Amino acid sequence: MRTFLGALMVLIVSGDETTIQGVLDDSVLLPCTCSESKKYFDWQMDEPKPMPVFIYNENDSSRYKGRIKTFLSENSTNCSILLTNITAEDQGKYSCRFKSEGVYYKSFVYLNVSANYSVCQTNNSVSGGLKVFQCKVIGRYREAWIQWTLHGQNLTNSKTINITNTTNTDAATGLYSFNSSLSTELNWNLTPMCEVKAKTISTTFISGCDGTKAAGTGNPQADRMRHRWLTILPVGLVLGLFLFLLYLSQLRSLPPTRN
């Protein structure tokens, strides 16, 4: 009976999924508070691609190799990890798991990755009856493009709109620059907006034409770090408890024995 109970795994899952903002090439703290008496702890990516990130007392797995810093030696209840040199592939759902007194704990963190870009839209000029709009974007993430919008609608090449895009790499700085020129004979009374979009990750506008920092955009690190543990009782555990109580009540009804 006892063996049967011992085989039942108690799993406690944190109810909150904290969202953490990380910036490409930067570093980010993935928070996890664990218990003093843990015997084991690990981090893994659950989505989009399940893979180990860090396993206590084991060597780093390849993709995260050399990019994980732990704090356990400073604080034995700190199972957080610092992930450095963030890549676009790092975006996703992570879980921190640890085992304490036979109970497994699991909490989730969603890492949202964004890339910084400076965006410079220059004044429209008129040449040969055409209105011309220019946009120049510079950033570290290559999988990006310039999107023009007017009244919230995406603009694309058509009979009346000519959009020409170019991409360049600055080998010295490793920065990518994207140019876009939009010309039209249409008589818009609003100026089209130039935005930068990136594949799978989000983009953050950090500066404009004069290189000045935009207000209110920084690097929002870990927000709201609360831990509300939500207990999920597996059906097996409920059944186990029931059997255990049954077993106890049977013990009580038997004449006392000693061995």
Ligand X SMILES: *[C@@H]1O[C@H](CO)[C@@H](O)[C@H](O)[C@H]1NC(C)=O
Give the number of other Cβ atoms within 10 Å of residue 169's Cβ.
11
Between CA 101 and CA 79 the distance in angstroms is 17
Residue 44 or 181: which CB sits closer to ligand X?
A: 181
Q: Is 63 helix (H, G, I), strand (E, B) or coil?
A: helix
Taking the complex as a whole, the smallest distance from the CB of residue 145 to ligand X amounts, in Å, to 14
- Single out the segment in contact with ligand X by CB under 6 A; choices: 73-81, 93-101, 192-200, 233-241: 73-81
Query: Should residue 147 be labelled a site residue for ligand X when binding is judged by CB under 6 A?
Result: no
- Single out the segment in contact with ligand X by CB under 6 A; choices: 10-18, 39-47, 143-151, 177-185: 177-185
**Beta strand residue intervals within 26-84, DSSP E:** 28-30, 38-47, 51-55, 68-70, 81-83
Residue 3 or 74: which CB sits closer to ligand X?
A: 74
Query: Should residue 38 be labelled a site residue for ligand X when binding is judged by CB under 6 A?
Result: no
Query: Should residue 165 be labelled a site residue for ligand X when binding is judged by CB under 6 A?
Result: no
- CB-based contacts of 26, cutoff 8 Å, min separation 6: 86, 219
Query: Should residue 29 be labelled a site residue for ligand X when binding is judged by CB under 6 A?
Result: yes
Taking the complex as a whole, the smallest distance from the CB of residue 69 to ligand X amounts, in Å, to 9
Residue 10 or 222: which CB sits closer to ligand X?
A: 222
Chosen residue from 37, 168, 173, 212 binding ligand X by CB under 6 A: 168
Between CA 172 and CA 58 the distance in angstroms is 37
Between CA 39 and CA 15 the distance in angstroms is 23
Query: Should residue 162 be labelled a site residue for ligand X when binding is judged by CB under 6 A?
Result: yes
Taking the complex as a whole, the smallest distance from the CB of residue 181 to ligand X amounts, in Å, to 5
The answer to whether the CB of 9 falls within 8 A of the CB of 234 is yes
Chosen residue from 61, 179, 219, 221 binding ligand X by CB under 6 A: 179
Give the CA angle between residues 175, 180, 184 to the nearest 5°.
175
Tokens of 132: 């011309």
Chosen residue from 42, 55, 63, 71 binding ligand X by CB under 6 A: 71
Between CA 138 and CA 238 the distance in angstroms is 58
Chosen residue from 16, 33, 161, 247 binding ligand X by CB under 6 A: 33
Between CA 223 and CA 230 the distance in angstroms is 20
Q: Is 245 helix (H, G, I), strand (E, B) or coil?
A: helix
Residue 138 or 240: which CB sits closer to ligand X?
A: 138
Strand 68-70 and strand 144-150: the pairing is unpaired
Query: Should residue 202 be labelled a site residue for ligand X when binding is judged by CB under 6 A?
Result: yes
Enumerate binding residues for ligand X (CB under 6 A). 19, 21, 29, 31, 33, 66-67, 71, 75, 78, 80, 84-85, 112, 114, 134, 136, 162, 164, 166, 168, 179, 181, 183, 202, 204
